[in-house]
Structure 1
Amino acid sequence: MTKPEVIERVRCITVTVRNNKVIISEERIRTVLKLGDKHDDPISLNKDDILDGFRGMGYVGDFRQKKDIKRNGLTRDWRFILHVIAMSIAHRKGGYDGLNLV
């Protein structure tokens, strides 16, 4: 059984694996996966930072006219990488051509 709890002011997930209680915290996940970031690092970016990132990837398109970013404005290698990421984290079955910025 899995349930979220707060242990010593730290949010954790408590699970039972083979009759042993296992406590998983965000810090433990960061350590095991070797993410190299800190707990207070930003987890989201503002719209201007996102657009600067796409410009750095060579995006060709006018951000002022449209409110979304189309994959076809990127080079082939970036399109493939974004496709893999979108397929990995999205819950929808189709419509992966654009990234909505609204």
Structure 2
Amino acid sequence: MADLKFADSHNLAILLADPPVAHGEFKSMIHGLRKCCLTTALTVNPTIYQGVFKAFWRSADIKKGEDGSVSVEATVKGCKIIITEQFIRDVLKIDDQSTFPTEIEIDQVQEVLNKMGYEGEFPPTMKKLLPPYWRFLAHVFVSCISGRKSGADEISLRNTVAIISLAAGLSFNFSKFILDELIVNIKGKTRDKFLMYPRFIQVFINE
């Protein structure tokens, strides 16, 4: 993975300050994000050291335990880094549980999207067809939490499920979501492999 590229628009931190008066309609969303299970993951903003960050991805591999558990392991400066679902949950202070799902029935997703005022056909979900209030949430999730680079208007089903779970207060395993995204990047099942999750990887290494 030594030739993977870094995307400046990916895995950004957000400042959850009150919006300007002219955009007061987003105030309740900001307050909700301050209290949600992803607050630390959204806002943590460590100094990223490119050398150790790239060393992680050069050596990252998938390991399976005898109990069927899956982890991502890498070696940075002679130190082994082991990332499990629980490790992600603990370090990023995500208030979810291993029993929570990462998939939701399509009909339920459609129902929540309808309540959010989505104006298009589903699937796929197009960010521009969400009302501004919920479009902001979708943009924050894709930019700060999703394993994919931001910018594309089309939101994957996996990301859509996570976003509507936040919007509707549904149980969702965000820790496993992040681990799965790491694994997908290692497996190379996507055409745009890159040096992903710079903030999260740095926090994991620091820990």
TM-score > 0.5, shorter chain as reference: yes
Q: Does 1:81 align with 2:151?
A: no
Stretches of structure 2 lacking an aligned partner (at least 5 in a row) = 1-58, 158-207
Kept in 1: contact 2:128–2:135 (CA 8 A) = yes
Give TM-score, length-normalised by structure 2.
0.37
Stretches of structure 1 lacking an aligned partner (at least 5 in a row) = none
Q: Give the direction of change, closer, same or farther, for the CA distance of 1:54–1:93 in structure 2 (3 Å limit).
A: closer
RMSD: 2.9
| Alpha-carbon separation, structure 2, partners of 1:71 and 1:25 | 31
Identity of aligned residues (%): 24
Aligned to 1:49: 108
Structure with more strand by fraction: 1
Report deviation, 1:43.
Answer: 0.3
| Paired residue total | 95
Q: Give the direction of change, closer, same or farther, for the CA distance of 1:20–1:53 in structure 2 (3 Å limit).
A: same
Report deviation, 1:50.
Answer: 0.9
Give the 5 Å matches for 1:19-98: 19-57=78-116, 59=117, 61=119, 66-68=121-123, 69-71=125-127, 73-87=129-143, 89=146, 90-91=148-149, 94=152, 96=153, 98=154
- Give the counterpart letter for 2:71 in structure 1: C
| Alpha-carbon separation, structure 2, partners of 1:73 and 1:21 | 44
Report deviation, 1:86.
Answer: 3.9
Any idea what the Cα deviations from partners look like across 1:30-82, whole Å, max 9, x if unmatched?
1211221111211011112112222332x154x7xx34455455432212222
Structure with more helix by fraction: 2
Give TM-score, length-normalised by structure 1.
0.66
- Give the counterpart letter for 1:22 in structure 2: I
Aligned to 1:7: 65
